[in-house]
Amino acid sequence: MQIQGAVVVGLGGPSPAPELIWGAREATALHRPLHLIRAYNASLAVLPWDTYLDREFAVDLRRAAEDQLRAALQYVNLHWPDLGAEGTVVEGFAAEVLGKASRDAHLTVLGSRRLGPVGSAVLGSVSAVVAATAAGPVVLVGSPPADPAQPAQVVVGVDGSKSMDDVLDFAFGYADRHQRPLHAIFCWSPDLLASMQWRPEPPPPERADRWLAEALAGWQQKYPEVQVHRGVVRASPVAGLVAESTAQELLVVGGHSQHARISALLGSVSQGVLHHATCPVAVVHPRATGWTVM
């Protein structure tokens, strides 16, 4: 697959799926090629030994995957003819195929079918697995993309982790390309006594606000056209980010783990917002060799 530097879209639902539209728009904005991948795997539905029916079943699965890819390419070429989109049908487990593709992709875009926290954990949602293990940024789109003409913000969670620069690079780059304001959020949880109902709610600490301003200062200089709002929110990271991103264009968070075992990831902020956010979510994993946003 020739996907080096491309925006890769993993096909799941029928075209035009929300992730397909989002990926095509972003590839256009980035001036990057668009590559569609449709993975299929028959190994879990056939017998360990070869039979005629299993061979026919595998042929039917591939044919259905090819038909879906063809329909998606036709849709993209009709609405974005200058992209010259390409696609590939790959036999294999979708999470493994797309996780491997993320190593070379500039950006990986997937659909989110809203299985819920329990269903996603039990069933091993492809989107949840790829978002947790990808080698680069992943965007999960669960609903039709917002109208580009409508005002909306890019919300980014700032937490001081090692991946913070990659997260802010992605968020500021996206906001700059799409001429969107950026809302940077730092979530803090006071101690138990401070949260008692009989005590007045304390204001956000001035030190947290100063730290957030300092963390954003260099990025505001790099992207002077981006209108930046910052806020210190008294809430857990998942609850705070989900609430602040409601009806917004994109929520950007860091990916702090690349463990394949979903059981080890259920408590992470990125997995939490994936299950509850109502707007597209970008999970940004830093690349070993680094990457830049055009």
Q: Tell me what the mean pLDDT of segment 204-210 comes to.
A: 82
Q: Tell me what the mean pLDDT of segment 230-259 comes to.
A: 86
Say what the pLDDT of residue 162 is.
79
* Vertex 211: Cα angle to 175 and 252 (nearest 5): 30
Structure-token pair, residue 31: 């001036």
Say what the pLDDT of residue 53 is.
60
278 vs 2, higher pLDDT: 278
* Vertex 64: Cα angle to 59 and 65 (nearest 5): 100
Percent of the chain with pLDDT over 70: 77
Say what the pLDDT of residue 110 is.
94
Quote the CA–CA distance of 195 and 193 in Å, as a whole number.
5
Report whether pLDDT(248) > 60.
Answer: yes
Mean pLDDT of the chain: 82
47 vs 42, higher pLDDT: 42
Host H or E run for residue 65: helix 52-79
| pLDDT tier at 6, thresholds 50, 70, 90 | very high
Q: What is the pLDDT of residues 168-204, one digit of tens each?
A: 999 999 999 999 999 999 998 765 444 555 555 555 6
Q: What is the pLDDT of residues 219-238, one digit of tens each?
A: 999 999 999 999 999 888 99
Judge whether 242 and 157 are in contact, CB under 8 Å: no
Q: Tell me what the mean pLDDT of segment 133-146 comes to.
A: 84
276 vs 261, higher pLDDT: 276
Q: Lowest mean pLDDT of 10-19, 37-46, 189-198, 246-255, name the range.
A: 189-198
Quote the CA–CA distance of 109 and 28 in Å, as a whole number.
14
| pLDDT tier at 46, thresholds 50, 70, 90 | low
| pLDDT tier at 47, thresholds 50, 70, 90 | low
